[in-house]
Amino acid sequence: MGRVLGDGGWYFHVIDMAVVPEHQRRGLGDVVLTALLDRIRSCAPRGAFVNLLADPPGITLYSRHGFVATSPTSEGMALYLE
């Protein structure tokens, strides 16, 4: 599964990418990410910004689709509420 949050124009954030562990390493993540990116491309203008936060197991998948690290230009940040 996967979702995209966007502003309807220029900015899109890929979230909630997940494949059930027993189905991983079968290309399903590629299928989901390809579908999400195809959808974004169908409605977004050229030059739109697509980002995500990647955990180490996902970096290879996202890199294959053209994602690159944004640091030091920008850094992902988080706040864990108590």
| Residue 8 pLDDT grade (very low, low, confident, very high; cuts 50, 70, 90) | confident
Mind listing the pLDDT tens digit for each residue in 14-47? Answer: 999 999 999 999 999 999 999 999 999 999 999 9
pLDDT (tens digit per residue) in 52-72: 999 998 999 999 999 999 999
How far is residue 30's CA from residue 35's CA, in Å, rounded to a whole number? 8
Residues 6+ apart with CB under 8 A from 19: 1, 26, 28, 29, 32
11-15 and 49-52 beta bridge pairing: parallel
Question: pTM value?
Answer: 0.89
